[in-house]
Structure 1
Amino acid sequence: MQMSTSSRKALVFVVTFVSYGLYHASRKSLSGVKSSIKADWLSNTSAHPPLFTSEADAKHFLGSLDAIFMAAYAAALFFWGWLGDRLNPKLVVAAGMIGSAITLTLFGTIPKWLNFYHVPYYIITYIAFGLVQACGWPSEIAIMANWFGKGNRGFVMGVWAACQPVGNIFGSIFTAMVLPLGYEYTFLLNSVMIAIGAVVVVMAIDSTPNEEHEAGVEANSTEPHHNFHGEPISLFKAVLLPGVLAYCICNACLKLVNYAFFFWLPLYLTDAYNWEESQADQLSIWYDFGGIIGSVLGGYITDKMGKRSPLIVAMLVCSIGCLYFYAHVGPYMFWNALVMTTVGVTVSGPYNLIVGSISIDLGSQPALAGNTQAMSTVSGLLDGTGSAGSAIGQLLIPIIQDDLGWKAVFYVFMLLNGFAILAILKRCIIDLKSLRKMRSGEESPLLNDDGNQHED
């Protein structure tokens, strides 16, 4: 039986949401077991000698692995974003999921089973994991942009971009559940789930609407035409598009902070308060719950405003205070979870808006003159620069923590969010002036950050 257009759109939304959630869940495999894998590397048994002689060396290597992953991920995002506008994005997404399953098992499960502990092996397999993980986001964004129009884009993409914190939450829960069996099984479980997800992606969805849907949108002005127009653009042309560079710089700072919580929060809770690792994994999900709230509410509010940058700046200003309070909250689980949630709202929330709604805004702006084949490239560029900034941060965090303590790490986060604000402050001022004129009746209709007409 032929599915209706609305049913097919719902299926696309759900499958892409779950598939990228699985991408993120697989990344939680290492961050959720850092204490366990560090202890294994330091142990001296008959089966294997210690991989490292000191806890500091093991912690620095974990930081290096995070940086290596983000560097490989950042570099590959530019490539996969460029390729996603030239190939079927559904197949790119599925290929990345299969590759993630293979490399994750090779990294975390095989060494434990075979007592094969070698630094070069860990580096090579985790680089490969970063390269294939980058297949997901640009092509997922391209699929969503093909199916969903401009009407209520902020809310739709705000809800959809919550796939990242939702994936983190389930990744943390799965890790906490399976960890008692051994950390190697957390890698294996996530590998199996993401491989199954790849099969579902290939079988269940279409990358672009068919001709029947195209005919249907002719009469609906709130839906864009999804026929492919124009030629894919180069990365150089993409970075010169209005607003792209500013948001790239902003995302480089913001993603560093967001992914620092992603990579280091469970270990911080274990080190700072001596909580059990599974307990720390479960508590860390409150940051992701905050990210979901910030993403959904932020998308809804920016749709109503007609502008995105003023709310993003406001959330980032609030994040500085929230980060300060979190650095001083102490070992009280209730208050720790509460403040952690507010940090998630004000850090992960605006990050999701930037890589979701604003990616599509910038990839479909008037400067492209109707070219619909730039979406994946612009999205890859925006997320790639963010990942490059995050890679640098993962190298610096263990060094700052060793020399100055955890509180200093949070002060650095506050400084970086200040830089993120400065990057888009000019855009924010322009949008606030535009809103003031609109309220006085001098300007209509509303415009998005990229200059697109806002449609409700």
Structure 2
Amino acid sequence: METLTPTPRRSLLFHQISVLLLTFSAYAAFHASRKPPSIVKSVLGPESPSSGDGDGGGWPPFSGPHGPHRLGELDLAFLSSYSLGMYLAGHVADRVDLRRFLAVGMLLSGATTAAFGLAFWFNIHRLAFFLAVQMVSGIVQSIGWPCVVAVVGNWFEKSKRGLVMGVWNSNTSVGNILGSVIASSVLEYGWGWSFVLPGLVIAVVGILVWAFLVANPRDLGFDWPAVEIEMADTENEEDHLNGEEEIGLIGSAKVESAEAIGFLEAWRLPGVAPYSFCLFFSKLVAYTFLYWLPFYIRHNAVAGQLLSHKAAGILSIVFDIGGVFGGISAGFISDRIGARAITSVLFLFLSIPTLFFYRTYGSLSMNHNIGLMFLSGYFVNGPYSLITTAVAADLGTQDTIKGNSRALATVTAIIDGTGSVGAALGPLLTGYILTRGWNSVFFMLIVSTSFAIMFLINIAKSEVVSKMSERK
């Protein structure tokens, strides 16, 4: 068999950095385009949601006493179609050109985001229009995550994924920050601009992805493993390769399965179901903050003063800044101790008192609010970041399916798609529970976090036993 000429390591490093930057920018743009609905909630809805009096204007059909309910239904329309689309997108992504599929998803996402904002100038007040736009937007946005995780998983081996993907996954928080700043800064000129500008951003980045992204190292002739297989199995693998000397790393065409893994088969892989349901509840909490935090800040006084729409939107980025550090820390810790589940459970457990303290003491002063909001983002987004990146990549390339490089996007889509069902449920429940007060909302978030911990307890126990055995 003809062997490829080795490529200089510096060139490999250059392409790895390029891939990280492009995929980072791509998914940051996706999240920036999802942020406007949370920023404009307090403008679209009634000014006094907790009282239900509907005073203070708003934008029909979201003004009036039923405004919070309809805003919650708007989130449901996007996130439910996003979660369903995620399963399909992962299935398709393992079978098509990742670069083109991702770029098309970004261009269509830009169009749907801008379409929502156009309702401001065309004076559209039909709920059906907003729901339809959000449903289509959810479907095309679901293309992003399976594609970017699959691309990064192709370029980085397992032993370095936790830290690399922990840093890289700050794209979600950076995107949220960027989206908050853009949407808030132009809100005074009309809420439509808060959608149109992020829509243009993701479309421009989509063009760059189409032009420059390389989805797989083999496309450039690198004879380099995209995914590691345990070296202990190397000798057994040789017996099945008809005498060929090169060992089957998944990046090698010699051992790659011809067909992508099936959807139900991927569900039965070890660890996929527990992590998926853990992410269901973890993402429920994270996305409740994503869609309702600016609204919460706007209508809860800090040091006795209510903040403006713009100030509330900008202040909410503290949660995302905490998420950046939380994702990096979770990835670093899980790499060092070699235990993803233990790390996730630790972060989830610590998020419970943090959420309680933020609700109880966050209103005392601006310093209290910022500090506790940062810690909330740190502990809430840490496990969410770890599971959707390094864990998904690990499960999609585990020994059970060694030799099949076309499972990564499918497994990623199953995990994040299940999590997205929770993401759809959280903001919807918040819209209804809010009528009972914010204490009830935070109680729901704490209960959800507890369920997330329960799904990982057995895996965490197994990791503890494994670590103790290694020491002995």
Q: Is 2:110 the partner of 1:101?
A: yes
Change (3 A) 1:329 1:99: same
Q: Confirm whether residue 203 of structure 1 aligns to residue 211 of structure 2.
A: yes
* Other-structure match for 1:361: 394
8 Å CA contact 2:146–2:413 kept in 1: the answer is yes
Partner AA of 2:397 in structure 1: S
Equivalent AA in structure 2 for residue 345 of structure 1: Y
Map 1:152-163; keep pairs closer than 5 Å.
Answer: 152-163=160-171
- Following superposition, the deviation at residue 54 of structure 1 comes to 5.2
Match of 1:169 in 2: 177
Tell me, in whole angstroms, the C-alpha distance in 2 between the residues paired with 1:398 and 1:355.
26
Q: How does 1:159-308 map to 2 (within 5 A)?
A: 159-210=167-218, 213-215=221-223, 225-227=250-252, 229-230=256-257, 231-273=259-301, 274-308=306-340
- The aligned counterpart of 2:3 is none
3-state SS in 2 of match to 1:281:
helix
Tell whether 2:346 aligns with 1:321: no
CA RMSD of aligned residues (A): 2.2
In the aligned structure 2, how far is the partner of 1:39 from the partner of 1:93?
A: 37
* 8 A Cα contact 1:363 1:378, kept in partner: yes
Deviates more, 1:254-263 or 1:4-13: 4-13
Is 1:214–1:227's contact at 8 Å kept on the other side of the alignment?
Answer: no
Describe the superposition over 1:119-152 as per-residue Cα deviations: whole angstroms up to 9, x where unpaired.
1111111100111100100011111111111231
Q: CA deviation at 1:429?
A: 0.3
Residues 54/22 of structure 1: CA separation in 2 closer, same or farther (3 Å cut): closer
Distance in 2 (alpha carbons) for counterparts of 1:89 and 1:72:
21
2:90 is aligned to: 81
Give runs of aligned pairs for residues 404-415 of structure 1, distance below 5 A: 404-415=436-447
1:351-385 C-alpha deviation (Å, 9 max, x unpaired): 00000000001000111132110000000000011
Structure 1 alignment gaps of length 5 or more? 441-456
Distance 1:5 1:56 in 2: 58
SS of corresponding position for 1:97: helix
| Number of the residue aligned with 2:382 | 349
**One of 53, 72, 75 as aligned partner of 2:81:** 72
CA drift of 1:406 comes to: 0.4
> How far off is 1:271 after superposition?
1.4
* Paired residue secondary structure (1:382): helix
Aligned to 2:26: 19
**d(CA) in 2 for partners of 1:322 and 1:130?**
31
Report the Cα distance in structure 2 between the residues aligned to 1:367 and 1:216, rounded to whole angstroms. Answer: 21
Q: Percent identity?
A: 34
Q: Aligned equivalents of 2:186 and 2:200: distance in 1? A: 13
Which amino acid counterpart does residue 95 of structure 2 have in structure 1?
A: R
Equivalent residue letter for 2:29:
L
Over 3 Å counting, the alpha-carbon distance change for 1:31 and 1:54 in structure 2 is closer
**Offset of 1:53 from its aligned partner?**
8.3
Separation (CA, whole Å) in 1 of partners of 2:349 and 2:156: 31
Q: What is the rounded CA distance, in whole Å, between the counterparts of 2:14 and 2:447 in structure 1?
A: 45
Letter in structure 1 aligned against 2:419: G
Aligned amino acid, residue 34 of structure 1: K
Could you say which residue in structure 1 is the equivalent of 2:147? 139
User: 1:210-246 CA deviation, whole Å, 9 max, x = no partner?
Assistant: 366533559x999954245112112111111000000
SS in 2 for 1:5: helix
C-alpha separation in 2, matches of 1:64 and 1:359: 29
Secondary structure of the structure 2 residue equivalent to 1:424: helix
What is the SS of the residue equivalent to 2:361?
coil
Task: Give 1:391 deviation, angstroms.
Answer: 1.3
- Per the alignment, do residues 53 and 344 of structure 1 end up closer, same or farther by CA in structure 2, a change over 3 Å counting? closer
| Separation in 1, partners of 2:59, 2:467 | 61
| 50-59 vs 343-352, which moves further | 50-59
Secondary structure, counterpart of 1:232 in structure 2 = coil
CA contact (8 A) 2:361 2:368 kept: yes
Cα gap change, 1:50 to 1:368, in 2 (>3 Å): closer
Distance 1:53 1:264, change over 3 A: closer
Q: Which amino acid aligns with 1:192?
A: L
1:390-424 superposed Cα distances (whole Å, 9 cap, x missing partner): 2122221121110x210111111111111000001
2:413 paired residue among 376, 380, 393: 380
Using structure 1 for the length normalisation, give the TM-score. 0.90
Query: Unaligned stretches of 5+ in structure 2?
Result: 1-7, 48-53, 232-247
1:126 aligned partner: 134
How far apart in 2 are the matches of 1:56 and 1:161? 38
Distance 1:44 1:366 in 2: 59
One-letter amino acid of the counterpart of residue 144, structure 1? V
Letter in 2 for 1:78: Y
